Amino acid sequence: MRKIAADIIYHYQTKQSYLNIELNAALEKTPLSREDKDLITRIVYGTVQNEIYLAYQLEPFIHGKIKAYERAVLLISFYQLIFLTKIPTYAVCNEAVDMIKKKYGMQRSKLMNAILRNFIRQGVRPIEAKDEFEYLSIETSTPLWLVKLLNKQLGKEKAVRICHSYLEKPSLAGRVNTLKASRDELLAQYETFKAGELSEDAVLFEKGNIAHHELFKSGKVTIQDESSQLVARFLDPKENSYVLDMCSAPGSKTTHLSALMKNTGKIEAYDIHAHKIQLIEMNAQRLGAENIMAHAMDSTQLRTIYPDETFDYLLLDAPCSGLGVIARKPEIKYQAPDSMDGIITLQTQLLEVAYHLLKKGGTMVYSTCTINKKENQMQMAKFMKQHPDMQCVKERLILPYEYHSDGFYMCKLTKGADNESNL
């Protein structure tokens, strides 16, 4: 079982692949019980969430070069020894040593045994840092550049809370599909659900997997974070409208728009990845959303097929750095800081297309699952400066720790209409 976890970490780090893809592929191949698969998942995600802290603990015991696979084994072993205290230490050590012995032979397995035994004997290493930023970085396994970015943009108190929230388990949220049911109806019938705190369409699932529930299979509930559920209501499209969703997959917000429109009008839903169109269509079919047309295309090229000022409403849920969803996708925090530069350029290109395709008097929402001002407030300020007829009606930033939800930004704008900003 631990070998599977070590293999996942090794492949994720050496191939620089997506963690969830490596995990899902590995779990599909194994006949282990649900309980064992859950433990593997916890070890894998826990190791990646705490990688900087674990590497700090490992550092004093490595006096020479170790192989990438050995490092993966050590990281998952240190995670178990520090965080999963109900697992016997001998089980962690014996299996780690056995894995290295089978792969590299007796000599390397002795080194593995010595490192683990020395750590168990000496205990957890206190954090010694040159300043409070480095301390927070090690403590929460948040890269130093990200700690400093959050501190600069949001202040010390919020930065500390955000970094700690990245290690917490986010809520298990679902959205009631109002095409088939009401939230009051479901709350009255099912004790496993409780009302969400942030979205009027949200229900919280206290344990288990919503995807296995009868309400999910029947299309009365779909999996969607509470913050994400606010986006469609921010746009608030009227019935019988013509709507463009520029970055739609997997279709959570698109199908929410359909529910708000009561299956009237038409929604053109686009995604650049052809294989994701099936996800949109499957979600729409399960939820009974019949006014969605899904297409595979690069949305920066949409002006080649639609005349300017075509759509009444437009949603641009833009590609972003994802700094609001790190609790769910911990590998995001280890991206290079300059990787955001290309994303910001792409956002700007998509916004330009959105501007031209929106009718005069039309409404659009720009949203991201990041909390980085360069991709949010600063992006909107630049956009409105370039297009003075675009006016911000309202905007909202949700930080990850506020509702145990994803961090999200959304801004509602109108084109060429007389509105008073309520910021």
Low-confidence residues of the chain: pLDDT under 50? 418-423
Give the phi and the psi of residue 221 in degrees, each rounded to 5: -135, 145
pTM (2 d.p.): 0.92
Cβ pair 96, 74 in contact under 8 A = yes
- Sequence ranges of the chain with CATH classification 3.40.50.150: 226-415
Strands of the 173-176 sheet, one edge to the other: 193-195, 202-205, 173-176, 221-223
pLDDT at residue 421, as a whole number: 37
Q: How many helices (H) and strands (E) does the chain have?
A: 17, 11
What is the model's pLDDT at position 419?
40
Which residues are CB-neighbours of 132 under 8 A, at least 6 positions away? none
Closest CA to 322 of 310, 330, 314, 312: 330
Active-site residues, by number, are 369
Q: What confidence score (pLDDT) does residue 71 get?
A: 94
Identify the residue whose tokens are 């282990």.
32
**CB count in 10 Å sphere of residue 93:** 20
How many Cβ atoms sit within 10 Å of the Cβ of residue 289? 26
* Residue range(s) occupied by CATH 1.10.940.10 in the chain: 2-122
Residue 134 burial (CB count, 10 A): 14
Separation CA 343–CA 349 (nearest Å)? 10
**What is the C-alpha to C-alpha distance for residues 105 and 97, in angstroms, rounded to an integer?**
10
Q: pLDDT, tens digit, for every residue of 269-283? A: 999 999 999 999 999
**DSSP three-state, residue 393:** strand
| Cis before 400? omega within 30 | no
CATH superfamily ID and name for 226-415: Vaccinia Virus protein VP39 (3.40.50.150)
Is residue 402 within 8 Å of residue 379, measured between CB atoms? Answer: no
CATH 1.10.3720.10 at 2-122, yes or no: no
What type of residue sits at position 356?
A: H
Most distant pair of Cα atoms in the chain: their distance: 76
pLDDT at site 420: 39
CB neighbourhood size of 63 (10 A): 8
Beta carbons of 239 and 264 less than 8 angstroms apart? yes
Q: What is the pLDDT of residue 417?
A: 52
Question: Which residue is it, tokens 């590995």?
Answer: 26
Residue 203 vs residues 175, 193, 399: alpha-carbon distances, Å: 6, 6, 20
For residues 334 and 394, the answer to whether their CB atoms sit within 8 Å is no
Burial (Cβ within 10 Å: 0-12, 13-18, ≥19) of residue 90: exposed
